[in-house]
Chain A
Amino acid sequence: AQKITQTQPGMFVQEKEAVTLDCTYDTSDPSYGLFWYKQPSSGEMIFLIYQGSYDQQNATEGRYSLNFQKARKSANLVISASQLGDSAMYFCVDQFYFGTGTSLTVIP
C-alpha cells in the first residue's frame, strides 16, 4: 500500500526564492529512511537528499534541506535560492514506494 503522500501536484517559485515541497509518510517500522529524488524532463532520476529516522539533525545537501518532523510524520524538502534548472518533478520516497510527485516550475 502507498505510504507516501505528496499533496502538491504543482508548485511555482520565483527564481532565487526558497520553496518547500511537502511529504508525509506512514510507517510502523521504527527504523526507516526517507529520500527525495528529482526527475527533470529528460527522465533521469537524480538523488537529492536522505533522512534517517534516527538522525538527530535535519539533513542538508547544498541548497537542499529537509524539514523533518517525526511526530507529524512529515519530511518536507526545502530548496533555497531556486534556479531555472530546478524545474522538474520531485518525488518523496521511502524504501520502496514513491509519492505521486510535485511538479516544480521556477519562474525567471
Chain B
Amino acid sequence: ETGVTQSPTHLIKTRGQQVTLRCSSQSGHNTVSWYQQALGQGPQFIFQYYREEENGRGNFPPRFSGLQFPNYSSELNVNALELDDSALYLCASSPRTENEKLFFGSGTQLSVL
C-alpha cells in the first residue's frame, strides 16, 4: 500500500511568482485535504477535494486554488506569492470526507524570497 507522497520536498520562489505543489493520495482514498503550516504554528486548513470537487475551504484568498484528478491525486496552486506564504504545505488523504483519520505526506517546504 503506497502512502501519501508530495513533491517537491523543498522549493524556493520569489515574491509575485506562481507555484504548483503536487500530492499523490494513498491507494483507495478519494479525499485530499491541504494545509499550510507556518513555523511554530498549527496547520491551517486550506481546502478539501472529494471526487474532483472542492468540498470545503478555509480562510484563504482565491489565489490559493486546487485541483483533484480522476486518480485522486491533487495539486495546490498559489498565484502572486507573498513572503507570508513561506510555510510547510501538508497534503493529507482519507477514504471519506468526514470522521476519518488523515494520512499525511511529508510536506513541501516553500520559501518565498
Q: How many B residues have CB within 8 A of the partner chain?
A: 21
Which residues of A, 58-104, contact B by the 8 Å Cβ criterion? 91, 93, 95-101
Would you call B45 and A97 a contact (CB within 8 A)?
A: yes
B90 in the interface, Cβ–Cβ < 8 Å?
yes
Segment at the interface with A among B19-27, B60-68, B70-78, B95-103:
B95-103
Q: Which residues on the B side are within 8 Å of A37 (C-beta)?
A: 102
For the complex, would chain A's binding face be called helix, strand, loop or mixed by DSSP majority? loop
Query: Is A43 in contact with chain B by the CB < 8 A criterion?
Result: yes
* From B35, B58, B104, residue with most partner A Cβ within 10 Å: B104
The distance from the CB of A46 to the nearest CB of chain B, in whole angstroms, is: 8
Docked-complex contact B99 and A32, CB < 8 angstroms: yes
Contact A98 B102 (CB under 8 A): no
The distance from the CB of A23 to the nearest CB of chain B, in whole angstroms, is 12
B44 in the interface, Cβ–Cβ < 8 Å? Answer: yes
Closest Cβ of chain A: how far from B4's Cβ, in Å? 10
B99 CB contact (under 8 Å) in A47, A95, A100, A101: A95
B79 at the interface (CB under 8 A from A): no
Q: Which residue of B lies closest to A97 (CB)?
A: B45
Q: Given A43-B107, A45-B90, A50–B101 Cβ distance below 8 Å? A: yes
Give me 16 other A-B pairs in contact (C-beta within 8 A), A32-B99, A95-B99 excluded.
A31-B99, A33-B99, A35-B102, A43-B106, A43-B107, A45-B102, A47-B101, A50-B99, A50-B101, A96-B33, A96-B45, A97-B45, A97-B58, A98-B45, A100-B42, A101-B41
